[in-house]
Structure 1
Amino acid sequence: MTADVPRPGLRERKKQMTRQGILDAAEHLFSEHGYEGVTVAQIADRANVSVKTLFKYFDSKEDLVFAGEADVQDALCDAVREREVGQSPLDAVRVFLKDLAAADEHANGIEAFHTAFGGVPQLRARLLLMYERFEQALAHVLAEESESGAGHPAPRLVAAQLISLFRLVTSEEARERVASASADERLNALNAWIDESAALLAEGLAGYGIRTSASAS
């Protein structure tokens, strides 16, 4: 028998509601006007809080876009850590990505994130930092599991490949594949892209692009 988890107090619940209200306001405004077309003051006004209050919850406008980063990182690591017997880390990430895409089918899942924010110059560095953090966290999980010694390249190399699959789901090529499909088939198109990319990773790179004739001088 498990003990009941205590319900947060009124003060904490109000803080959670305020934080979520700010995030909801930002999401709506970003959707309507784009990231660059929205100011912090407009978000605060939409959420019925002051700019000072907004900055008590978020350090920057960028943080409003990446508010769920830690949750996604934890879920990704859990998917690999808790994978079924006989399942590889690659398969675990492939399934995780497809589940993430299906979670918001009408918005085309993770593809929608890149559509909204992937082309914003101010966010590119922050997006790369997020993927680097994902890679580090996943490498740690793999190193613990394999008991690799310090400095062994395998966990980090594998993590880098798995995160490359994660980031390239929102690449220009993936977005073109999704955009070329009908509205009803976009999720299937994204899933097919994930499966094909994972299959290529599984095959390895040794046989890819082998030159069969001398290049022209």
Structure 2
Amino acid sequence: MVVAQRKTDRKNRQGEQTRERILEETMRLAARHGYEGTRISMVRKATGLSASSIYWHFSDKEQLIAAALEYAIGAHLRVIPTWPEFASGDDRSADLYKQIFQWPREDFWRFGLQMAVVRPSEDAPTRDRFLEIRRESIDWLARWWEPGLPGHMEQRAVGALMLGNLTFAVRDSYFLRRHAGRRFDEDRIVWLLALSLEAMADRLAELAAGRPIAYEGAPVQAVERTGTESGRQAFLQAAEEIIAEFGYDGVTVARVCERAALPASSLYWFFKDKDDLVAEVVAGAAEKWEAVQPVLSGRSGKENIHWTVPLRSQLRDVLAGTSAGTGILRLGLLLLLRDSNRALGGVQGLEAVMENMQSTTAEWFSTVLPDTGTGAYGAELAEHLSECLFRFLEGLLLSRQIDARTWEPELLADLLATGLHRAAEQVLAGSVPPPRS
């Protein structure tokens, strides 16, 4: 009887190991190819298991991917800190640098963000579960921030939630596919981000003394199609809508033609194939994405005008403009969240747009900063400030596409500009990252 029990236990362990291997490979594939692009056949090839072995554990793809995400989330929650266990105190920037920004950067989060950005027309339990985890994580960070805000501050909890969202924007921005040819000193970037967030918390407390902290309201929804587009435009609009619902891998000729209410023969009159159609959608997104990036050039103007003034003005316009964006931001974010060897047509164009914007912004910072000499950061400070600005900005744009409500652009612009300025002052004064714990 003991021998039989041992055999049963061994068989159960083997079955559990097989199940875990399936889940790990599924999550890896889903993070690379998205929900629509992941196939059971791909999982079978990656694991070396038969289809019957996979279906023994999971009834279909939906159940498999949902279980893979849950498995990845469980592993993630076992290793991240429980934020309320260490309340923010006098050295918040050091805590941010040493602990909060050290979260595991797992592929499942990229996959979750891909699902969160799309707008499926049907129920999506896997997407809903990720959004739940993301909301809980932001709430944890808000509870971490709250004790460090002034006790007499009105709307203290609301301010803490805003800081939680700003902190999470930094995390989310890590997964956007950029800088293919550029590498930064990540320790210095993280330290500058931590200093910026601490300065934003101080600035928020100052502003809250004289004004309420308010939501901007629900994002403006995409404009409905009028049905009067030309054939070419109808296909482009239909493809854009399908990408917003299913992701890039969800685009099929059949879906596009059904949405555009036109035959496939018409599609091939305007486009060589599906890839050609998607490439044009991406190219259009790249052009419009350029309009929502900060463009700063030259000096800030008169000597008595501080550089935070034009920066705040530009950021306010950028953040306010996103509320009127339809699907263009979503398309760009979906593209940048991809982690696939198969590059879509036009991806290089979008990456070039973003790289050029960041380089221009770095040049602007170099003209408004005092001579940085050859200190700990030296001439790299301008590039690091630009990198931090874009991490905050892109993370906030990503949040706008995911969350039901967003923060007031005027307030966000003030916090970002002031936070970066005060962080730069500390770096120029010699502030250096503490050792990792």
What residue identity is the alignment partner of 2:85?
Answer: R
Tell me, yes or no, if the aligned pair for 2:145 and 2:164 is still in contact at 8 Å: no
CA distance in 1, matches of 2:56, 2:81: 35
CA contact (8 A) 2:87 2:144 kept: no
Write out per-residue CA displacement over residues 139-161 of structure 1, whole angstroms, 9 at most, x where no aligned residue. 78999x9xxxxxxx86x657634
Partner of 1:133: 136
Distance 1:18 1:65, change over 3 A: same
Partner of 2:114: 119
Letter in 1 for 2:14: K
Query: Residue 10 and residue 113 in structure 1: after superposition, are their counterparts in 2 closer, same or farther (change >3 A)?
Result: closer
- Displacement of 1:38 after TM fit? 0.7
In the alignment, structure 2 segments of 5+ residues that lack a partner are 1-8, 121-125, 148-154, 212-308, 310-437
Aligned letter for 1:13? R
If the length of structure 2 is used for normalisation, what is the TM-score? Answer: 0.32
Question: What residue in structure 1 maps to residue 318 of structure 2?
Answer: none
Seen in structure 2, the aligned counterparts of structure 1 residues 137 and 59 have a Cα distance that, compared at 3 Å, is: farther
**Bigger relative contact order, structure 1 or 2, given CA contacts below 8 A and separation 6+?**
2
Larger displacement relative to structure 2 (181-190 or 20-29): 181-190
Partner in structure 1 of residue 19 of structure 2: 19
Q: TM-score, normalized by length of structure 1? A: 0.55
1:169-209: CA deviation from partner (whole Å, max 9, x where unpaired): 2445x667x83485542734762564255224432414469
Rounded to whole Å, the distance in 1 between the matches of 2:45 and 2:114 is 26
SS in 2 for 1:179: coil
Report if the CA contact (8 A) 2:86-2:144 is conserved. Answer: no
C-alpha distance 188-135 of structure 1, shift in aligned 2 (>3 A): closer
Q: Distance in 2 between matches of 1:35 and 1:193?
A: 35
Contact 1:135 1:160 in 2 (8 A): yes
Q: Does 1:70 align with 2:74?
A: yes
Identify the residue that residue 410 of structure 2 maps to in structure 1: none
Unaligned runs of 5+ in 1: 1-8, 104-108, 146-152, 213-217
CA distance in 1, matches of 2:130, 2:14: 30
Distance 2:11 2:96 in 1: 38
- Deviation per CA, 1:10-67: give whole Å up to 9, x if none: 35532441232112321442355333201346425643222241359x9452342342
Q: How far, CA to CA, are the matches of 1:67 and 1:119 in structure 2?
A: 18
Residues paired across the two proteins, number: 183
CA contact (8 A) 1:79 1:93 kept: no
Letter in 2 for 1:179: R
Q: Deviations 1:78-116 (Å, cap 9, x if unpaired)?
A: 35415799665x75455334323xx6xxxxx36x65555
Query: What CA distance in whole angstroms lies between the structure 2 residues aligned with 1:162 and 1:40?
Result: 41
For residues 34 and 87 of structure 1, what CA distance do their matches in structure 2 show?
40
The share of aligned pairs that are identical, in percent, is: 15
Contact 2:34 2:111 in 1 (8 A): yes
Residue 137 of structure 1 deviates from its aligned partner by 5.8
Q: How do 1:1-217 residues align onto structure 2 when only pairs under 5 Å count?
A: 10-11=10-11, 13-30=13-30, 32-40=32-40, 42-43=42-43, 46-47=46-47, 48=49, 49-54=53-58, 59-78=63-82, 80-81=84-85, 92-100=95-103, 109=105, 115-120=110-115, 121=118, 125-135=128-138, 157=158, 160-161=161-162, 163-171=164-172, 179-180=178-179, 182-185=181-184, 187-188=186-187, 191-192=190-191, 194-207=193-206
Q: Is residue 97–residue 190 contact of structure 2 (8 Å, CA) maintained in 1?
A: no
| Structure possessing the higher radius of gyration over alpha carbons | 2
Which residue in 2 is equivalent to 1:150? none
Please give the secondary structure, in 2, of the residue aligned with 1:185.
Answer: coil
